Amino acid sequence: MIEFRSVRKEYADGTVAVGDLSLVVPERSTTVLLGSSGCGKTTLLRMVNRMVDPTSGTVLVDGRDVKEQDRVRLRRSIGYVLQAGGLMPHRSVLDNVATVPRLEGATRRAAHARAAELLEVVGLDPALGRRYPGQLSGGQQQRVGVARALGADPDVLLMDEPFGAVDPIVRADLQAELRRLQAELGKTVLFVTHDVDEALRLGDEVVVLRSGGVVAQQGTPAELVAAPADDFVADFLGLRSRQRQLSVREQDGRRLVVDADGRPVGVLEGSLEGSLEGSLEGSLEGSLEGSLEGSLEGEVPGA
Amino acid sequence: MNLFLDAWRWLATGSNWTGDGGAATRLVEHLLVSGLVVGIAAIIAVPLGVLVGHTGRGRTAVVLAASAARAVPTLGLLTLVALATGIGLTGPVVALVVLAVPSLLAGAYAGVESVDRVTIDAARAVGMTEAQVVRRVELPLAAPLLVGGLRSATLQVVATSTLAAYTADVGLGRLLFAGLKAREYDVMLASALLVVALALVLEGLLALLQRLVTPRTAAPAEHARPARNAHPSSTVAEKSPTERTS
């Protein structure tokens, strides 16, 4: 569990990045900090592993004040994934993933064996371990970044817009992969993003921040969408945009979900099966039988 | 043209190389003085440059000091120091160190500064101590520029170490000055050629070193494949989630 107790971060020039914020990040679940750039979400994240020290207030990880812990030890015990990967270009992928175990004194052999396992955990071919980060695609580099963060088997995983720099298809792939991983590993994940869809897709809890590091609303994605606390949250989530105002329309026996412009965004569950059954009874019955008979007859003599 | 032939003849004469004050001794002396100077300069400049590059502090001061040092006339400084310390190696060594420091300093801090900030931030965030960040990330990635600084410092010092003979009985400069005094231009030219040769050899060796310290950022080519499969990048297997769950 991570707890922020009225933390505040003010820089020397008087800018307030985070203003008196209190927040509890529940254990073994994914909490997303959602906000536009400059809302202090990254600052908050970096307070957890003491990359940033708050001006006032305390941050607790598993009930212990991080300020009383050695920075280096603390950072090694917390996984950290950042947007651009941040891999060391002069070390092989395997060496990169083995970084923390090596720092902790594991032998090269043991650290490499563990690293190869981790590559598989994040869905990479261990054979990629011999390559260098520059030889991988953006999506692969992000996976390596996740593998490195898992190196010391941390309970807490900090992710700073980890999928921000990859194209939408790879991003969706990585998001799905993260959900699978999280279901398997059950880490306490603190995830920073400005992408509303990503937040709703990944978060068990979503914390919407307004500028100056103030919590606008915290809740499950469903709670936020069902009952936005105020206009800011509703606008930020885009609930009033035409893309999020959905209605159902019948089309060819299916119930389509369409947005305010009539653009389809999906099919209502259940209606697909219904229509398939309907069509099976009707047109398919005849044509399937017909074609089956036809093709079977044709194939038998040849066999 | 005759002068070159004379110089060549001088170099080809074995007796000119042997004995006290022979070319061989002078060459070794020259090399030792240059090595001493570059060594002292490196001990001063490299840690300072790395510190400035690592912390980003004092950059302006160091850049200003380095350009000022570049503008100092070596012969003038040598004379000034020699007036204070007397005949001997101190004057030339001090003057040459001042000559060598700017290149080494620039190489060290530019090298460290050129390392991607994100890489350093990440190294720190995964739990490297400051010393580990310097040793395992910044220095390896800065190495080519650092050796580049060493290379230009060495070249300058070897060429200028002839000035050591101004106040000390040391180095190839000795032959140069002796030739000048005695109007033996073949000796002068021969010793100048030796300085050039020494500089070129060291330049070659340091260029090689620079290549050796350049960090690998690509795996060596895997065993040769038939030409039609020659797309190593397309063999990269990024398993899709569906593949894994099955």
Q: Is B72 helix (H, G, I), strand (E, B) or coil?
A: coil
Q: What is the mean pLDDT of residues B58-76?
A: 89
What are the backbone dihedrals phi and psi of residue A157, each rounded to the nearest 5 degrees, phi first?
-125, 125
Q: Supply the pLDDT for residue A254.
A: 87
> Which residue's structure tokens are 């002839």?
B162
Q: Which residues of A touch B127 (CB under 8 A)?
A: 72-77, 100, 103
B96 Cα distance to chain centroid: 13
Which amino acid is it at A225? V
The pTM is what? 0.81
The alpha carbon of residue A90 is apart from the nearest alpha carbon of chain B, in Å, by 5
Tell me A78's DSSP state: E
Does A165 reach chain B within 8 Å, measured CB to CB?
no
Question: B220 pLDDT band (50/70/90 cuts)?
Answer: low
User: In sequence order, what are the residues at sequence separation of 6 or more whose Cβ sits closer than 8 angstroms to the Cβ of residue B194?
Assistant: B11, B23, B26, B27, B30, B172, B175
User: In sequence order, what are the residues at sequence separation of 6 or more whose Cβ sits closer than 8 angstroms to the Cβ of residue A79?
Assistant: A149, A150, A151, A152, A154, A156, A157, A158, A187
Polymer length in residues for chain A: 303
Q: What is the mean pLDDT of residues B62-80?
A: 90
- Beta carbons of A152 and A76 less than 8 angstroms apart: yes
A25 Cα distance to chain centroid: 15
Q: Supply the pLDDT for residue B19.
A: 83
Per-residue pLDDT of chain A (303 residues; tens, 9 = 90+): 899 999 999 998 988 899 899 999 999 999 999 999 888 999 999 999 999 999 999 999 999 999 999 999 999 999 999 887 789 999 999 999 999 999 999 999 999 999 999 999 999 999 999 999 999 999 999 999 999 999 889 999 999 999 988 888 989 999 999 999 999 999 999 999 999 999 999 999 999 999 888 999 999 999 999 999 999 999 999 988 888 889 998 888 888 999 988 899 888 877 555 555 444 444 444 444 444 444 444 444 433
Rounded alpha-carbon distances, angstroms, from residue B238 to A12, A127, B234 = 45, 11, 10
Rounded Cα distance between B41 and B35, Å, is: 10
The helix or strand, by DSSP H or E, that contains position B131, with its residue range, turns out to be helix B130-132
Question: B1 pLDDT band (50/70/90 cuts)?
Answer: low
**E-strand stretches of chain A:** 2-10, 16-25, 30-34, 56-61, 64-65, 78-82, 156-160, 188-193, 205-210, 214-219, 247-251, 254-258, 264-267
Residue A36, judged by CB atoms within 10 A of its CB (0-12, 13-18, 19+), counts as: exposed
B55 Cα distance to chain centroid: 24
How would you write A151-169 as a 3-class SS string?
CCCCCEEEEECCCCCCCHH
Instruction: Tell me which chain A residue has its CA closest to the CA of residue B214.
Output: A90
Residue B114 predicted with pLDDT over 80: yes
Class in CATH terms, A2-237: alpha beta
Rounded Cα distance between B13 and A46, Å, is: 72
Q: Which residues of B touch A122 (CB under 8 A)?
A: none
Q: Supply the pLDDT for residue B91.
A: 92
User: In sequence order, what are the residues at sequence separation of 6 or more whose Cβ sits closer than 8 angstroms to the Cβ of residue B37?
Assistant: B93, B96, B97, B99, B100, B157, B161
User: In sequence order, what are the residues at sequence separation of 6 or more whose Cβ sits closer than 8 angstroms to the Cβ of residue B231?
Assistant: none
pLDDT tens-digit profile of B116-173? 999 999 999 999 999 999 999 999 999 999 999 999 999 999 999 999 998 988 999 9
As a whole number, the mean pLDDT across chain B is: 87
Q: Which of B120, B126, B130, B240 to mutate to test the interface with A (most CBs of A within 10 A)?
A: B126
Q: Supply the pLDDT for residue B21.
A: 83
| Six token digits for residue A63 | 């009930």
Q: Looking at the partner chain, which of B118, B127, B140 has a beta carbon nearest the beta carbon of A86?
A: B118
Tell me if ipTM is over 0.85: no
Residue B227 predicted with pLDDT over 80: no
Domain residues of chain A, as ranges? 2-237
Asked if A75's CB is within 8 angstroms of B217's CB, the reply is no
Does A177 reach chain B within 8 Å, measured CB to CB?
yes
Q: Supply the pLDDT for residue A273.
A: 54
Q: Supply the pLDDT for residue A292.
A: 44
How would you classify the pairing of strands A56-61 and A205-210?
unpaired
Does A50 reach chain B within 8 Å, measured CB to CB?
no
Of A84-88, B91-95, B172-176, B205-209, the one with minimum mean pLDDT is A84-88
Polymer length in residues for chain B: 246
- Beta carbons of A67 and A239 less than 8 angstroms apart: no
Residue B236 predicted with pLDDT over 50: no
Domain residues of chain B, as ranges? 2-216
Q: Supply the pLDDT for residue A14.
A: 87
Q: Supply the pLDDT for residue B235.
A: 36
Q: Looking at the partner chain, which of B125, B238, B241 has a beta carbon nearest the beta carbon of A75?
A: B125
Asked if A103's CB is within 8 angstroms of B132's CB, the reply is yes
Rounded Cα distance between A115 and A204, Å, is: 29
Tell me A300's DSSP state: H
Q: What is the mean pLDDT of residues B36-43?
A: 97
Does A179 reach chain B within 8 Å, measured CB to CB?
no
Q: Give the homologous superfamily in CATH for domain B2-216.
A: MetI-like (1.10.3720.10)
Residue B47, judged by CB atoms within 10 A of its CB (0-12, 13-18, 19+), counts as: exposed
Rounded Cα distance between B170 and B27, Å, is: 9
Asked if A140's CB is within 8 angstroms of B218's CB, the reply is no
